């Protein structure tokens, strides 16, 4: 099945009541997790895209993200991947860990080169559901993608008034080009990673912001912040 040109992602937060609001912390934290996944996808597929937020609408709470870029087929592919990743029930958590370990043993550079070859040769008529499925299979074995997705649904589950969420692809005329995929509240927990057995994640280009105590002789605990999210504590001895 061919996928029609799309460049707008519609996020629809359904509520149990008839209010057209959403908790600001829930919204911002879900956005952060979703954007982290988009960033990973763009890096692996070598897609250059900017994202603009449009005015939200009623109907629970509808949010619209417009993708801007020079390669329209790549934007369509990106939207199709996002919708499928966030709407398809993942494999059991234990299998996710095993898949990630296997993934780390493969040559990721070759993998990325193959994916880039697909995205670089796209045209308006070449984007099919089969291509999207093939690329999504790659990201379903990426633990970082699954971790961010897990955090996304964990935050939604903590918001009692949210009854469902859906993802839809639209064109510039706000016509549906990627059918709405709805995930009911009862399914949120299936996306959440509960295992404590995580494969190692190595970031060779990590930038850590260090906050130090007043420098004086003795042993002191310093703190480091990685991606403004993770607090790292370590000891430093001054002489």
Q: Provide the residue-wise pLDDT of the chain in tens; the chain has 239 residues.
A: 667 788 999 999 999 987 899 999 999 999 999 999 999 999 888 889 999 999 998 889 999 999 999 888 889 999 999 999 999 887 655 555 555 555 554 445 556 667 767 777 676 566 778 888 888 888 887 888 989 999 999 999 999 999 999 999 999 999 999 999 999 999 999 999 876 545 555 555 667 777 665 556 666 667 776 665 556 666 656 55
Q: Which two tokens stand for residue 55?
A: 């005015």
Asked whether 189 and 209 are in contact (CB, 8 A), the reply is no
End-to-end CA distance of the chain: 68
pTM score of the predicted model: 0.75
Separation between Cα atoms, residue 216 and residue 239, nearest integer Å:
8
Q: How far apart are CA 62 and CA 180, in angstroms?
A: 13
C-alpha radius of gyration, the chain, whole number = 20
Residue that is written with structure tokens 């040559």 in the block: 107
d(CA 94, CA 1): 32
> Is 188 in contact with 153 (CB distance < 8 Å)?
yes
**Rounded to the nearest 5 degrees, what angle is found at the Cα of 81, between the Cα atoms of 133 and 111?**
65
Find out whether 238 and 216 touch, Cβ atoms under 8 Å: yes
């Amino acid at each position: 099945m061919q996928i029609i040109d799309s460049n707008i992602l519609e996020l629809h937060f359904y509520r149990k009541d008839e209010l057209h609001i959403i908790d600001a912390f829930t919204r911002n934290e879900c956005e952060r997790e979703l954007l982290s996944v988009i960033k990973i996808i763009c890096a692996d597929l070598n897609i250059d895209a900017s994202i603009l937020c449009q005015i939200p609408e009623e109907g629970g709470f509808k949010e619209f993200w417009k993708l801007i870029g020079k390669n329209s087929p790549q934007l369509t592919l990106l939207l199709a991947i996002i919708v499928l990743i966030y709407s398809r029930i993942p494999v059991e958590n234990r299998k996710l860990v095993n898949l990630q370990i296997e993934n780390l043993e493969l040559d990721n550079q070759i993998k990325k080169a193959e994916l880039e070859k697909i995205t670089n040769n796209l045209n308006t008529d070449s984007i099919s559901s089969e291509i999207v499925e093939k690329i999504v299979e790659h990201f379903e074995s990426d633990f970082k993608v699954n971790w961010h997705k897990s955090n996304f649904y964990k935050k939604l589950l903590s918001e009692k008034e949210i009854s469902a969420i859906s993802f839809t692809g639209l064109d510039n005329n706000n016509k549906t080009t990627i059918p709405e995929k709805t995930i009911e509240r009862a399914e949120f927990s299936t996306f959440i990673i509960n295992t404590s057995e995580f494969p190692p994640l190595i970031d060779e280009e990590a930038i850590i912001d260090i906050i130090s105590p007043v420098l004086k002789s003795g042993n002191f605990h310093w703190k480091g912040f990685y991606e403004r999210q993770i607090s790292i504590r370590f000891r430093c001895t001054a002489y």
